[in-house]
């Protein structure tokens, strides 16, 4: 999980039931803190229940949207996310908000989906392709451009697995690991 260190403050975008938050909480230790952000009240309630059942005290769950994070400026050291940014209708706003909440010298480690070519409009318009985390995928140049426009630098990207087609005879999509930094 992003090479987390004891004492770091972590934000998990799209935290769901809290699994990644609980793993991060273990890595940052009792002197660190993890915040899970999710837009659905049911997931926030489930994550809070899971944290209480597990006795994890250095984690909290906040309801909000990725495009308008209810967190103070420069309040976290690391932003993590597992294939959630692709679902946002405004990825530029997500990256701007992630940059805003990161402290100077902070970093973002996320897994996301990347289109390996142009995404056909029929794929973009297909609700099933959205639910499958395919229709919202950006091409690499657009994705990196959004990160740079938000202020991120030293951007690293690596494909995590084999590509798969978005549909018959269409562009492929692949899971990528993205690491980007905010200047100190």
Query: What per-residue confidence (pLDDT) applies to 1?
Result: 66
- Bridge-based pairing of strands 76-82 and 153-159 is unpaired
pTM: 0.94
Nearest to 34 by CA among 66, 68, 75: 75
Helices 140-150 and 91-101 pack at an angle, to 10 degrees, of: 40
Residue range 31-44: mean pLDDT, rounded: 97
Q: Name the band, by pLDDT with cuts 50, 70 and 90, for residue 161.
A: confident
**What DSSP state is assigned to residue 8?**
-
Cβ(159)–Cβ(100) below 8 Å: no
Total Cβ atoms within 10 A of residue 165 = 13
Q: Is the pLDDT of residue 63 over 80?
A: yes
Query: What per-residue confidence (pLDDT) applies to 152?
Result: 98
Q: Is the pLDDT of residue 42 over 70?
A: yes
């Amino acid at each position: 999980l992003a090479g987390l260190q004891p004492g770091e403050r972590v934000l998990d975008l799209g935290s769901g039931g809290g699994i990644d938050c609980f793993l991060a909480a273990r890595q940052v230790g009792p002197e660190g803190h993890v915040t899970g952000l999710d837009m659905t009240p049911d997931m926030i309630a489930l994550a809070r229940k899971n944290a209480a059942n597990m006795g994890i005290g250095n984690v909290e769950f906040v309801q909000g949207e990725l495009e308008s994070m209810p967190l103070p400026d420069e309040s976290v050291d690391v932003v993590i996310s597992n294939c959630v940014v692709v679902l946002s209708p405004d990825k530029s706003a997500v990256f701007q908000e992630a940059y805003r909440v990161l402290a100077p010298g902070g970093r973002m480690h996320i897994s996301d989906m990347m289109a390996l070519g142009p995404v056909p409009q029929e794929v973009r318009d297909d609700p099933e392709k959205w639910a499958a985390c395919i229709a919202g995928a950006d091409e690499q140049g657009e994705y990196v451009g959004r990160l740079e426009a938000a202020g991120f630098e030293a951007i690293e990207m690596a494909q995590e697995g084999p590509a798969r087609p978005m549909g018959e005879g269409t562009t492929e999509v692949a899971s990528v690991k993205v690491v980007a930094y905010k200047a100190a």
